[in-house]
Structure 1
Amino acid sequence: MNLVILAAGKNTRLDTGIPKSLVTLNGETLMSRHIRIFKRHGVNKFCIISGYGADKLEVALPKLKEAHDADITILHNERFDLENGFSVFRAKEWVENNGMSDFFLTMGDHVFDPEFVGEFVRKSNVLENTLQLAVDMPGESNKHIDIDDVTKVLVDDVDFIKSISKTIPEYNRYDTGLFRLKAEIFDVFQKSFDQEEYTISESVSKLIADKQAKSVLVEGYTWNDVDNPDDLRSTKDLMDQKRL
């Protein structure tokens, strides 16, 4: 299994001088945590998409490889000023060169309970749709989430995604930032770029009408998006509580 990790963002809301994926919590960087957890659940190839602070990720690469005995590639997205869908597209050559039919995708600044990852890997094992997104039900386990910033998802009664955005008025799930994608997703991204749409959510919307965007409910576990100082503090608190 294979994982693409997006680590290209400009860190406008949490600029510590390094990519957010290299922020250290409880003695481990967020990037190292991702590689450790996903490797435990069967991922053996990793592709990191760099952008802002790319030189610092390159410096960290040998230590990551040594610490995890992992196959890790870094690809640089020179247009890291664009939205996250363009960063995913940068992995196209890696996916094609390695003959991959599908891959997992997550963000370098997200943090997951290891069992959250394990459940999504198990539930998404048979990939019948172009895109599967791990979603969570709003509730006690995720009440720390920034409701104004989280991407919201509306799904139907058989888990197909009906709409997705940070601003949709009706929703019943949260986007957790963990996907499993078929390789043909890159064709969808290209269609979005042709219309000057660069977010992952905009490409997901193009799959909805064809019933190719499915949600996978993973609930009862903790996850967080370390996007700003408040998120960083809440993540530290969750780790202190042994919830991450």
Structure 2
Amino acid sequence: MEKIKINAAIILAAGKNTRFDTGVPKSLHQLGEFSLLERQIREFHKAHIFNIAVVVGYRGHILKSYIEKLNNLLILPVEIIENPEFDKANGYSILAAKNWVRSLDTDLFLCTMADHVFEESFFHNFIRKLENLGMVPNRIRPDPCLLNLAVDLPGEHNAYIDILDVTRVYAEQKSHHDICIHKAAKLMEEFNYFDTGFFALRKEVFEFLEKLTDEGKDSITDLVNHLADRQEARAIDMSGYYWNDIDTPEDFKIVQSQINKLKPKI
């Protein structure tokens, strides 16, 4: 059994930040020692992911200048990809990275949003869970799931999550190793997980994204639901690991007050 190759990541940072617009891209706000963007890049490096691209759009010149300076300090430079369709949903940002991802020798690529924060061990342990799936005997090859989404069970440990804004997920345990996603949406009544905004995708998703965006279904949640209908979307349970989505100044204050939770568990 060959180990799954996971050696690329894209960070989506093209959006307009309409609910948190201070004149500075949200991803450049400082959280502790690092900006939100640099924090993510460093966490990918700790998880041994060094092929990283940041997709920029709105106020992209500010982000490009920041990344170019940051590249002087990094082991490997971060690729900058421009999304001219930044006023549309995030599916266009993923599509903007199509040629870059396809040029790399990787089975899966990771994807997240620049305004999400994660506990330091989140990335590493998500990757480890995916790699362990690849080592399960007698599994179908290649893996039929094109999309893997990190999910979290609702509970006291994540009571800070905005229940009215978070994307909810309904998924079902298909086997000892697989949790099959059935649907994802905001304000969905029947759900059993939260969408953390962290994905591992196969390159084939670009073909589906192109078709979906042509139909006006241009968000990554649209992709999740399309692949769920095809039984090609899997949930990876990351319950207990800290994460949050920063949409508003209030969200940012919550994360600032919980910054110690970003440190890895001993």
Find the residue that maps to 1:170 and give its secondary structure.
coil
Is structure 2 residue 111 aligned with structure 1 residue 95?
no
Cα distance in 1 for residues equivalent to 2:73 and 2:22: 24
Q: Paired residue for 1:161?
A: 181
Check whether the contact 1:65–1:71 (CA below 8 A) recurs between aligned residues.
Answer: yes
Query: Structure 2 residue aligned with 1:39, among 26, 45, 58?
Result: 45
Q: Paired residue for 2:20?
A: 14
Instruction: Give 1:71 shift.
Output: 3.1
Is structure 2 residue 238 aligned with structure 1 residue 218?
yes
Find the residue that maps to 1:190 and give its secondary structure.
helix
Find the residue that maps to 1:68 and give its secondary structure.
coil
Q: Paired residue for 2:167?
A: 151
User: Aligned-pair RMSD on alpha carbons?
Assistant: 1.2
Cα distance in 2 for residues equivalent to 1:101 and 1:197: 25
Cα distance in 2 for residues equivalent to 1:138 and 1:63: 39
Q: Paired residue for 1:243?
A: 261
Could you report, residue by residue, the CA deviation over 1:173-192 in whole angstroms, capped at 9, with x for unpaired residues?
Answer: 00000000000000110121
Instruction: Give 1:161 shift.
Output: 0.3
Find the residue that maps to 1:161 and give its secondary structure.
strand
Could you report, residue by residue, the CA deviation over 1:65-97 in whole angstroms, capped at 9, with x for unpaired residues?
Answer: 223222311111111010011111100011122
Cα distance in 2 for residues equivalent to 1:32 and 1:141: 26
Instruction: Give 1:99 shift.
Output: 4.3
Cα distance in 1 for residues equivalent to 2:247 and 2:201: 24
Could you report, residue by residue, the CA deviation over 1:129-177 in whole angstroms, capped at 9, with x for unpaired residues?
Answer: 1000000000122111111110000001221001001121100000000
Gaps of 5+ in 2: 1-6, 135-141
Normalising by structure 1, we get a TM-score of 0.96
Q: Paired residue for 2:215?
A: 195
Normalising by structure 2, we get a TM-score of 0.88
Cα distance in 1 for residues equivalent to 2:28 and 2:172: 37
Q: Paired residue for 1:5?
A: 11
Which is worse superposed, 229-238 or 114-123? Answer: 114-123
Cα distance in 2 for residues equivalent to 1:161 and 1:67: 40
Greater radius of gyration (CA): 2
Q: Paired residue for 2:139?
A: none
Query: Structure 2 residue aligned with 1:141, among 130, 133, 157?
Result: 157
Cα distance in 1 for residues equivalent to 2:187 and 2:219: 14
Check whether the contact 1:8–1:50 (CA below 8 A) recurs between aligned residues.
Answer: yes
How many residue pairs align between the two structures?
Answer: 242
Amino acid of the structure 2 residue aligned with 1:243: K
Find the residue that maps to 2:69 and give its secondary structure.
helix
Check whether the contact 1:35–1:68 (CA below 8 A) recurs between aligned residues.
Answer: no
Matches within 5 A, 1:109-128: 109-125=115-131, 126=134, 128=143
Could you report, residue by residue, the CA deviation over 1:80-129 in whole angstroms, capped at 9, with x for unpaired residues?
Answer: 01001111110001112234432000000000001122211111223821
Matches within 5 A, 1:46-125: 46-125=52-131
Cα distance in 2 for residues equivalent to 1:67 and 1:111: 21
Identity of aligned residues (%): 38
Find the residue that maps to 1:197 and give its secondary structure.
coil
Amino acid of the structure 1 residue aligned with 2:261: R
Cα distance in 2 for residues equivalent to 1:140 and 1:122: 25
Cα distance in 2 for residues equivalent to 1:174 and 1:114: 19
